[in-house]
Amino acid sequence: MTGVTVRVRFSPAPTGFLHVGGARTALFNWLFARSVGGVFVLRIEDTDAALLREGLVDGILRTLRWLGIDWDEGPHHQSERAGAYAEAVAALRYSGHAYYCDCTRDDVRARTRDDAGYDRFCRDRGLTSGAVRFRAPDEGATVVHDVIRGDVTFDHAAIEDFVVQRTDGTAVFLLANAVDDMDMAISHVIRGEDLLASTPKVLLIRQALGDDHPPVYAHLPLIVNEKRQKLSKRRDDVAVEEYRERGFLPEAMRNYLALLGWSPKDDREILPIDDMVAEFRIEDVKPSPAFFDVKKLEAVNGEYIRALPVATFVRECLPWLETDPPWPPENFDLAVFEAVAAHVQERARTLAEVPAMVDFLFLDEPAVEEVAWDKAITQNPAAAGVLDEAIACYRDAHWDSGELHRLTAALADRHGLKLAKAQAPIRVAVTGRTVGPPLFESLHLLGRDRTLERLARAKDHLPFSS
């Protein structure tokens, strides 16, 4: 790597949002650039008119920033480099490397052979308008040097005369890609394996354009779904933005993505970004596809959530607590949430599940889970007694979680119950759920009045209430 300026690029097509696979590609380019002191260029591949709608790029940039992936150059837009592409196409035509073709879509279909694509019908017709096709060599082969896969050889016989410029004069990505990578002096091309098969075409164009410094390639393994297919916009949850909305932290997302195809030398999986940069080696990336496992992502996210200082955790939770909360907004009390935060933080795998863990504190009536209520109260023979006595001894209790704990333990004792059993009807009566933050801290925060009110209400609903 000495003596050569490392320049990499992430070049997404503007589809409106950043795809999980794209994010991983961006991350690996970024890690590589940062690890060797190279330059990370952002380039928008919008050569197709359909991709020129306003705003399609914004989401991608926003999400890259959210992930902490910054760029040193760009974003360049291919839509603004039409001149350079036109020049390149003209050069290819003059040098005999490309020719006009007026075949229609149907013509091409009819002329496509099973083993080598378009049959080159227009090659020597001397047309002066239409789409422009690259004259692929009839013999020989092109070798793609890939640091992840080794040398991959493509026989020219299987490479068709592909289109480099559309009838409307715009360049297709193969051409734009070749020209831009040369003009921008890209030294390493790191992208998804789905592009491996198109690489010899780009190499052929570059060669025809006089290039003698092809970049080093690294084709990353595809990220696949449970059926081992490439993640697709249609059937899979691929928008990184969506994971953000589902309560994942950017650091966790980034860390998990880094683990798809790469791993540090030791047995660590959770590691700070600086360590990743320090240890990242593009040649260590595995060539085989990786399944995007949301369960594992959640586990990683849980680790990151727990590692947060409580105050930071509280701040991160705010959007979930203040925007469209399950309780009347005016009921929310930040001080109360801050008091339970540490308990919630230990239990949450995503920020999105936080509201349900604390809703009993801000709801006028607890959100009752039918199954829980039925099991712990209605169908529980001990419920009436426990509830009655809880009301009796909580009424004059010193309102403190330790004291509530002691009183309830004594209560359980008198009923010959384990505290675990005795607390169940109380918890469900007060919070509506069987699980949640520690009960006595919860009661303490809820306050005596509301606690007694909810216990009484639960008791009243019992079929044989005393």
Partner RNA sequence: GGCCCCAUCGUCUAGAGGCCUAGGACACCACCCUCUCAAGGUGGCGACACGGGUUCGAAUCCCGUUGGGGCUGCCA
Binding to RNA in span 185-204, by CB under 7 A: 193-198
Least distance (Å) between residue 331 CB and RNA: 22
Question: Can you read off the two tokens belonging to residue 112?
Answer: 């496509």
Residues 38 to 67 in contact with RNA, rule: CB under 7 A: 45-48, 50-51
Size of residue set near RNA by CB under 7 A: 92
Least distance (Å) between residue 332 CB and RNA: 22
Q: From its phi and psi, is residue 190 left (phi > 0), alpha (psi between -120 and 50) or beta? A: beta
Q: Which of 137/438 has CB closer to RNA?
A: 438
* Torsion angle, alpha carbons of 20, 215, 276, 260, to 10: 40
Least distance (Å) between residue 257 CB and RNA: 10
Least distance (Å) between residue 330 CB and RNA: 28
Question: Can you read off the two tokens belonging to residue 140?
Answer: 């020989």
Contacts of 170 (CB under 8 A, 6+ apart): 47, 48, 49, 82, 85
Q: Which of 212/307 has CB closer to RNA?
A: 307
Letter string b/e over residues 167-203, b meaning 16 or more CB atoms within 10 A of that residue's CB: eeebbbbbbbbbbbbbebebbbbbbbbebbeebbbbb
- Binding-site member from 291, 327, 332, 399 for RNA (CB under 7 A): 291
- Binding-site member from 54, 106, 115, 330 for RNA (CB under 7 A): 115
User: CA 132 to CA 166: how far, in whole Å?
Assistant: 7
> Which region, judged by CB under 7 A, interacts with RNA, from 55-63, 101-109, 210-218, 390-398?
101-109
User: CA 331 to CA 103: how far, in whole Å?
Assistant: 69
Residues 368 to 427 in contact with RNA, rule: CB under 7 A: 401, 405, 419-420, 423-424, 427
Question: Can you read off the two tokens belonging to residue 372?
Answer: 């829980």
DSSP class of residue 463 equals T
Binding mask 199-238 for RNA (x = CB under 7 A): ----------------------xx-x--xxxx--------
* Torsion angle, alpha carbons of 147, 150, 151, 157, to 10: -110
Residues 5 to 44 in contact with RNA, rule: CB under 7 A: 11-13
Regarding 112 and contact with RNA (CB under 7 A), the answer is yes
Residues 147 to 176 in contact with RNA, rule: CB under 7 A: 149-150, 152-155, 158, 160, 162-163, 166-168, 172-174
Regarding 269 and contact with RNA (CB under 7 A), the answer is yes
Q: Which of 270/452 has CB closer to RNA?
A: 270
Active site residue ranges = 233
Residues 129 to 148 in contact with RNA, rule: CB under 7 A: 130-131
Bridge partners of residue 152, in order along the sequence: 144
Question: How far is it between the farthest Cα atoms of the chain?
Answer: 101
Regarding 91 and contact with RNA (CB under 7 A), the answer is no
Cβ contact 59:241 at 8 Å: yes
Binding mask 329-348 for RNA (x = CB under 7 A): --------------x--xx-
